[in-house]
Amino acid sequence: MSSAESFVPTPLLLSDSAQKRINALMAEENNSTLKLRVYVTGGGCSGFQYGFDFADSVADDDTIIEFGDAALVVDPLSYQYLVGSTVDYEEGLAGARFRVQNPNATTTCGCGASFMV
C-alpha cells in the first residue's frame, strides 16, 4: 500500500542575491515598505516580456510574497505566468538586472527578457 505525499507549492521564489539587492534599495531609499513588483506584459521577441518596478503600495488584488524583509508583489494576470519561477539578481559585464527563471516558459529570447508559454 502506498501513501500519498503532500506539499505546498511555492508560487515564486526570490534568490539570495535578489533579496540582498531589494534590502539594499530599501536602505538607500530609507523606505522599509519598498517591494519589488514583477509583472508580465505582451511584447518582446517571444510573445511576453517580464517587467520590474518598485512600489511601496499594492492593489487589493495583488499577491504579496514575503522573504524576510524583502517582498515581491504580483498582479493577478501576471501571477498565472510566474507560478514556480525564481526571481534572481545578477551583476556582470553587461550590467546589473533582475531576471526571472521561469519553468513554464517553452521558449525564451537570448537575453531572457521575453518568453512564450
Q: Is 43 annotated as a binding residue?
A: no
Between CA 88 and CA 68 the distance in angstroms is 16
Q: Is 58 annotated as a binding residue?
A: no
Q: Is 45 annotated as a binding residue?
A: yes
**CA separation, residue 70 to residues 1, 2, 10, 27, 115 (Å):** 43, 40, 16, 11, 26
Q: Rounded to 10 degrees, what is the CA torsion of 108, 87, 24, 59?
A: 110
Binding site for iron-sulfur cluster: residue ranges?
A: 45, 109, 111
Annotated binding site: 45, 109, 111
